[in-house]
Structure 1
Amino acid sequence: MTLTVSRLANGLRVASLDMPGLETAAVGLYVDTGSRFEPAPAHGVAHMLEHMVFKGTRRRSARQIAEEIEAVGGHLNAYTSRDQTTFYARILAEDMPLGLDLVADLITEPVLDAQEMNREREVVLQELSQARDTPDDIIFDDLQEAAFAGQPLGRSILGTEETIQSLQPEDVRTWLDEHYRAESMVLAAAGKVDHDTIVRLAEERLGGLPSGKRPEGFAAHYTGGEARTSKPLEQTHVTLGLPGVSYADPDYYPLLIFATALGGGMSSRLFQAVREERGLAYSIYSYASNYAETGLTTIYMATGPEAAGDAVSLTLETLLRSLDGMSEEELHRARAQLKASVFMGLESCSGLSEQIGRQLLLFDRVIPTKEIIERIESATAEDVRRAAQRMIEAGPLSLATVGPSRIVPSLNKLQAYLS
């Protein structure tokens, strides 16, 4: 496989990875902006833009967008995260010009019609309501808000009823004009692709994007905090949060290994201790989230209301015991899981397109797979133990619950136990 990266005159990076043997391709436009860059009055505007571009462009109606991609058996979609917005197409290789044209059309030609926005506003409000009706969905937003209190990084991606209702087409247009700058975007394609063709098409359709970078964001720092949402549910959903690290931090891989060994699978310490040995939770796992300057390590569990107290206590006890170090066998399994995830991602042109786009945005280079594997393998047991100890000492615990939580101890009690 051959990766090639070019830069257009306006600063847009264009990357392609030719994957011999495939007859399909994926192309995505990766934008270095998301909900964490929104000012408070425009909370939800990044996600609203993602919705509105599919409601019609100057060249295509919403129906034509859907019909053109599906007429060739392709898939066109988008998503918004806290630090990135992505528009992508998966198509047969021969239909790459159409896929790229559709992706470009969404961000260069959107109409942003007021009547369409009024209709789509209701769709977003329904999406928000659906999220709030799903306890193992909203609880992660609650934890994020508690962990990064009073900061854009702590806000939900969808917005609130008030901000969604207040957003107008001109707000969306302003966001598009200010944040969708060529130097803050990457066009990445993978599969059966020809780089020269991709560059030519990108120049035709995206060469007119304004140069420069998006405005600077709002710096974030972990605070810790507590959020409890009472709902008449059969289960109690609990998340615990601790400070994480940035993508570029030397402890990125050691902490990733720790989170995986702690709760990344059925052989993990938490799954074995809380579910298998005590039967206190149906679901329990841990993972690490990372951002440009900070991060969040999360433990999630779904448990019976009467068992919630014991489940949380055993979880913290298991976490504390893990700080003394994990066996080489445990760390070997965690490393194997992470390496397998890396290699499995190489088999998907969609996954590779996203990996290329995201890494170019984050590091201005694509990290070779060999380098990633070496970093995973070179993290020693002492590196993992030290990174975990650093996490515990870096800041207070965060707690979020959804459902009956009477038996879940207060954050102060949990913090005292952890200390």
Structure 2
Amino acid sequence: MYSTPPLSNSRFQIILPELQTITLYDGTRVNIIEKPTAGLVTIKVIFHTGNVNGTVPGAIAFMAELLTRRTKCKDAVQWNTYIEQRGCTIAATTSHSNVVFTGTGLAEHFSFLVDALGECLGQPGLNEIELERLKLQWITEAHINHSDPEWLAGRAMHIACYGNHRYGTPVRGNVVNMEEHTIQGQWEAYRTMVSAQRDIVVTGPLSSDDVAATVRNLLHDFPTPRPSGLPDDVREVPHTAVVAGIPDALQTVYSIAMPAVGYHHPDYARLLLVTTVLGGYSLARLFMELRERKAYTYGAYSELIVRRYSAITIITTAVGSEYSADALDSIADIVHELAAAPIPAEELHNAKQFLLGEFLRRTETAGQLADLIQTGVIHELPWSFFADSLQHLQNATPEDLLSVQHTYLTPDQWSIGVSGNPSQLMDAVGRHSGGVRLWEPDVSDTEE
């Protein structure tokens, strides 16, 4: 006869690989993890600047993408052949406050990757033809986004939550911004980026001495880094709602933001746990109520989003239009109920186990470790932060969490973004906000 083994209640000890940091002659930090079992190597160059520091919306995102498409010495075909014939990749990702260039490949190609990144960053091939091609591509994608109810709900939430702050705008800017980009503006964005403070991250089967010797001259022609100016204060706008109107829509998509705290706040680990209980996985309350009990949706989730200068808890779901009002009522009831009472022991245990497993799955490869270091570098966290947070999480009791539930589960402070049929939403959403306005999405709008 078969039986189910009991779940473990023992504390899990998180031991991450040692992080070594060296500082180059210009103050650039090189953060290294030697992962001898990895066949691949990942190298990241992180620049601490972005739209939030005052550049033209989207300019840095355009410039960073263009840098990865060609160089001064190689056109697009030559550059792609140069990278891909060795099985390597080089890509750029841009947020409102950072630009990250990532190279990956076999460990034997590490020196090649460093040289390629040096050419990509130090010999920019900013070119009018490539700029026009990228404009066409991203403007087309913007039109596609404006027909996507989930994207529109997210935009509506950011407009409601952040107003005119840069966090309320798309990283790429809007179509008007895209159309106005020039090569001169791209060079200005490039000069802003290369003057910013920066970090290098390397993970893979390489010794720290080898890494230091190889990357020493990667950025040797760059200006001495200086801090970027601080952005305008981020003031989330509480208890507001924006409806992205889609006449005759058959679906309603909600994206709801509540004020939260970032990594440095003592409540962070406990809030992460509470957010997981609310909607972080398939046993969470939002999922169980809206999907399993009411069958309104395929999924309903919550997530703690930490940016460099802001943090919010986001609730997302999509339901049939006929369920719009009751779905929002149900979300509000679930949040109020979780805010009011201690979390049962079994429910709390399940959420802890999920978070532990998720963290471990995100630290298996050299690339995943590089992403973890990137988070620490951007947010100025000690390497011990991640293991310490997981210990705090494991040690949390229902009584420890109750004050966090009271403080941060606050429907009277949330900002609602929603896309759908306005005739079915304005009154329903208005009951859960201090003010609701209709936004009629236009791909060329400049409201953000």
The alpha carbon displacement at 1:119 in A equals: 2.1
Check conservation: 1:223, 1:395, Cα contact below 8 A: no
1:27–1:187 CA contact under 8 A, matched in 2: yes
**Correspondent of 2:174 among 153, 156, 160:** 160
Pair 1:339 & 2:353 matched: no
1:199 aligns with 2:176: no
Q: Distance in 2 between matches of 1:394 and 1:207?
A: 51
Conserved 8 A contact 2:68-2:92: no
Structure 1 residue 392: Cα displacement: 4.1
| From 363, 375, 385, the counterpart of 2:402 | 385
The separation in 1 between residues aligned to 2:378 and 2:282, in whole angstroms, is: 34
Q: Following TM superposition, by how much is the alpha carbon of 1:239 offset from its aligned partner in structure 2, in angstroms?
A: 1.5
- Partner residue of 1:228 out of 215, 230, 243: 243
Shift, 1:303, TM fit? 0.3
The aligned residue for residue 269 of structure 1 is 285
- Once the 2 structures are TM-superposed, how far is the Cα of residue 57 of structure 1 from its aligned partner? 1.4
* Other-structure match for 2:441: none
Match of 2:9 in 1: none
Contact 1:179 1:215 in 2 (8 A): no
In structure 2, what residue type is equivalent to 1:362? H
Question: What SS does the corresponding residue of 2:423 show, helix, strand or coil?
Answer: coil
1:184-224 CA-to-partner distances (Å, cap 9, x unmatched) read 21110112123222222322221232222223222212113
Unaligned runs of 5+ in 2: 1-16, 435-448
Q: Equivalences for 1:20-169 in 2 at 5 Å? A: 20-39=36-55, 42-169=56-183
> Distance between the aligned counterparts of 1:87 and 1:340, measured in 2?
28
Larger helix fraction of residues = 1
1:217 aligns with 2:217: no
Inter-partner Cα distance in structure 1 for 2:255 and 2:57:
24
State the shift of 1:368 in Å.
5.4
Q: 2:389 corresponds to which letter in structure 1?
A: I
Partner of 2:417: 400
* 1:393 Cα deviation from its structure 2 partner: 5.3
State the shift of 1:312 in Å: 0.9
Shift of 1:383: 3.5
Task: Spell out the pairing of 1:283-302 with structure 2 (5 A cutoff).
Answer: 283-302=299-318
Secondary structure of 2:431's aligned partner: helix
CA distance in 2, matches of 1:241, 1:335: 23
Q: TM-score, normalised by structure 2?
A: 0.87
Matched, 1:11 2:24: no
Is the Cα contact below 8 Å between 1:280 and 1:308 reproduced in 2? Answer: no
Deviation at 1:114, TM superposition (A): 2.2
Aligned to 2:198: 185
Q: Does 1:320 align with 2:336?
A: yes
CA distance in 2, matches of 1:303, 1:393: 22
Q: Deviations over 1:114-135 (max 9, x none)?
A: 2321222111212222222222
CA distance in 1, matches of 2:381, 2:76: 34
What is the aligned-residue RMSD (CA, Å)? 2.0
TM-score by length of 1: 0.92
- Aligned CA distance change for structure 1 residues 385 and 35 (closer, same or farther; 3 Å): farther
Deviations for 1:86-108, whole angstroms, at most 9, x for unmatched residues?
11122000001122222233222
Bigger Rg, structure 1 or 2: 2
Which residue does 1:208 correspond to in 2? 221
Over 3 Å counting, the alpha-carbon distance change for 1:152 and 1:292 in structure 2 is same
Query: 1:239 aligned to 2:255?
Result: yes
* Distance of 1:214 and 1:17 partners within structure 2: 27
Q: Distance in 2 between matches of 1:147 and 1:307?
A: 24
Q: Is the CA contact 2:31–2:199 (under 8 Å) kept in the aligned structure 1? A: yes
- Contact 2:258 2:410 survives alignment (8 Å): no
Offset at 1:37?
Answer: 2.5
Question: How far apart are the structure 1 equivalents of 2:412 and 2:260?
Answer: 10
Percentage identity across paired residues of the two chains = 20
Partners of 1:61 and 1:214 in 2: CA distance: 32
Q: Which residue of 1 aligns with 2:442?
A: none
CA spacing shift, 1:375–1:83, aligned 2, 3 Å? farther
Amino acid at match of 2:359: V
What letter corresponds to residue 338 of structure 1 in structure 2? L
Q: Does 2:366 correspond to 1:352?
A: no
Q: Is the 8 A contact 2:155 2:417 kept in 1?
A: no
What's the secondary structure of 1:205's corresponding residue?
coil
Q: What CA distance in whole angstroms lies between the structure 1 residues aligned with 2:323 and 2:30?
A: 53
Alignment size in residue pairs: 413
Q: Secondary structure at the match of 1:319?
A: helix
* Deviations 1:284-333 (CA, angstroms, capped at 9, x unpaired): 11111112343111111110000111111111101100012311222222
Distance 1:366 1:19 in 2: 16
Determine the C-alpha separation between the residues in 1 that align with 2:389 and 2:73: 42
1:316 to 1:163, Cα distance in 2 relative to 1, 3 A? same
Given that 1:308 and 1:407 are in contact with CA atoms closer than 8 Å, whether structure 2 keeps it comes out as: yes
Change over 3 Å in CA distance of 1:364–1:273 after alignment to 2: closer
Distance 2:230 2:237 in 1: 21
- CA gap of 1:319–1:128, structure 2 versus 1, over 3 A, is same
Deviation at 1:3, TM superposition (A): 2.4
Kindly provide the CA deviation profile for residues 383-412 of structure 1, in whole angstroms up to 9, marking residues without a partner as x.
432223212459722111112243334544
2:431 corresponds in structure 1 to: 413
